[in-house]
Amino acid sequence: EDIIQDLNEKGIIFGIDRDKIKEMVQGSMYNQDIVIARGKPPINGDDAKVVYIFSDESDVSIPGTIGENGRIDYKTLNKIRNVRTGDLLIEIVPPTQGISGTDVYGNEIVAKKGNPVIIRKGKNVKEGKNGLKIYATRDGEVCFKDNTIYVNEVITIDGDIDNETGNIQFNGKVNIRGNVKSGFRVEADGDIEIFGVVEGATLISGGDIVVHRGIQGNGQAYLCSSGNFKSKYIENACIKSAGDVEADVILHSDITAQSGIIASGRKGLIVGGNIKAGKKVRAKVLGSNMGTSTVIEVGIDPGERDNYEQLKKEIEGVRKSIEDSKKAIDLLNKMAKQQQLAKDKEEILAKLLITHETLKKKYRTLTEEIQVLLKKFQNCRGGKIYASAVIYPGVRAVIGNSVRQIYDELHNSTLYVKDGEVTVGPYEK
């Protein structure tokens, strides 16, 4: 009690270890330092933290994407961090105040507050009501640089699309300064603009596609545009466009355009392949003096024509199934007349009869669908084919349901349907 009283007289009132003092007195512990009072240290606050909802860093240890089978796809590197409008990008965990301590004199030891974090907001982002969450206001790629977060609606690849970049999949517009190498894929919700050459690659765009130099597809290139399509030249490629397709030269390619296909420029040449346009095909030269087979189809929506071809295949398959089921039914009925069918054969016959009736109904439905299309095709006479210079033999012109094979050179001509036949008229500008 004397020691504690002496400590209190000296102002030491907090953290006194009474048990230690009792042990010291009873044990006659002299000439050594003994802690008999200890203050409570403060607990400093935690610094603010940033939680990245998007992937902040790619795993450079894996040179690709691991598929379900465990194999690595070396072309899918997932280097672009795509986000959609309204996506949460980052969440800030605010700093804590900390817990104050007390010294042995009973004085408060103030805890150090945690340091805040400053995130600057760039373009196409916004913060939530409490300022602790940041959201995207546009589709695109989220970027975080120098404590600034922003969303790019356009990405630019300064070089080629190859093993270094991998495949590209982006929510906005893609600009590619170099070439797109064979075997690689570029997908964009917006436009795709390429300043080099496209090889045997796949390009799918939710907007326009522009190829400044050209396409050398080697029979492997597939390019699909939800808008217009423009290229310097197109060779050995498959092109689909929801608008117009325009190029100076089109060689040995399958081109489908909902609106028009135009070979403009100095050469204005279309040779070989299958050319399908909903409204018109315009060029200087169609075909070649070598008689290269070139099919030009206009006047019918290419999507409906594809649907027609698919229906024909489906009808033929159903017709064959009906014939096969009829043969099996006839055989089982014949067996039933000669002798009583076993129970399992009776069940098979019952199932076959149901299947046969279902197939006949499907056949009737498909036939009605194809008849509707055929009637629509017969009324399609608005498409035209224009050639300001020459149409060579070897060209097959299809306008609606009318067909004309060209056997002699036609100069400065327009092909159109009159009285159900493909007719040759003067060139119309």
Instruction: Give the pLDDT confidence of 41-72 residue by residue, as tens digits.
Output: 999 999 999 998 876 544 444 455 555 665 65
Instruction: Give the pLDDT confidence of 152-185 residue by residue, as tens digits.
Output: 999 999 999 998 888 999 999 999 999 999 999 9
Q: In this structure, are residues 124 and 137 in contact, taking their beta carbons and an 8 Å threshold?
A: yes
What is the model's pTM?
Answer: 0.71
Residues forming beta bridges with residue 93, ordered by sequence position? 49
Reported confidence tier of residue 294, pLDDT bands at 50, 70, 90? very high
List CB contacts of 350: < 8 A, sequence separation 6 or more: none
Block residue for tokens 């089978």: 69
State the average pLDDT for the chain. 89
Written as one string, the DSSP assignment of 185-244 is EEEESS-EEESSEE-S-EEEESS-EEESSEEEEEEEEEEEESS-EEEEEEEEEEEEESS-
Q: In this structure, are residues 135 and 86 in contact, taking their beta carbons and an 8 Å threshold?
A: yes
Q: What is the pLDDT of residue 69?
A: 62
Which pair of tokens denotes residue 385?
């084919």
Element of type H or E holding 386: strand 384-391
Of 89, 104, 122, the residue nearest 10 (C-alpha): 104
Q: What is the pLDDT of residue 59?
A: 43
Instruction: Give the pLDDT confidence of 147-160 residue by residue, as tens digits.
Output: 899 999 999 999 99
Q: In this structure, are residues 401 and 308 in contact, taking their beta carbons and an 8 Å threshold?
A: no
Q: In this structure, are residues 238 and 257 in contact, taking their beta carbons and an 8 Å threshold?
A: no
Instruction: Give the pLDDT confidence of 370-408 residue by residue, as tens digits.
Output: 888 777 776 665 789 999 999 999 999 998 878 999 999
